[in-house]
Amino acid sequence: MPTVFRQNLMKALQEACFIILLAVAAGLAVNLTRTDSIPFVQDWSAESRLSEDDGNSLAISLPEAEALFRENKAVFLDARDKALFDEGHIQGAKSLPWYEVDDYFQQVVPGMDRETPVITYCDGESCNLSHELTLFLKNMGFAEVRVLVNGWTVWTENNLPIETSDK
């Protein structure tokens, strides 16, 4: 039996290699022929991901965001889960969790002026929730929506005002 198992294992390895080669060839070849192909290798840095087609960046720097916060000229939207928002968020921010955007949209958005600058944030360099929320809001007609990359972390690291939902 061990010999049979070893033989089967070798056969499995050969077949697996063949299947993988087939998938690699098909995946790469089909991508070359389709109209919506993607590059084989791409820059996934935050700057690159947040660049719009016209080259403008959706990202806002911390000093710019802080200035708008101090002058009370922007609405901050927290794209993280509501529980994380309740534990702590940028002072005055509203919760609009990306994964429950349909539920929270009616509570948050109707009172907002679409010309007022909006700053979205989540947590982590590669967190995509605020980016998705930004694209969604721009699509809904908001004129100026920007992403504060790694927002919660950079905000708290710089000891800027925060609050919890209990206060």
Q: Report in angstroms how near the CB of residue 108 gets to another protein at its nearest.
A: 16
Which x/- pattern, by CB under 8 A, does the window 26-55 give for another protein?
xxx-xx--x-xxxxxxxxxx----------
List phi, psi (to 5°) of 129: -60, -45
Is the separation of the CB atoms in 82 and 111 below 8 Å?
Answer: no
- The residues pairing with 90 across neighbouring beta strands, listed in sequence order, are 162
Q: 127-137: string of b/e by CB count within 10 Å (b at 16+)? A: bebbbbbbebb
Note whether 156 binds another protein by CB under 8 A.
no
The answer to whether residue 139 forms part of the interface with another protein (CB under 8 A) is: no
Report the alpha-carbon distance of residue 10 to residue 107 in Å, rounded.
60
From the list 8, 107, 116, 156, which residue makes contact with another protein (rule: CB under 8 A)? 8
Q: Is 143 in the site for another protein (CB under 8 A)?
A: no
81 binds another protein (CB under 8 A): yes
> Tokens representing 151?
């927002």
Q: Which chain residues interact with another protein by CB under 8 A? A: 1, 4-5, 8-9, 11-20, 22-24, 26-28, 30-31, 34, 36-45, 80-81, 98-99, 101-102, 122, 126-129, 132
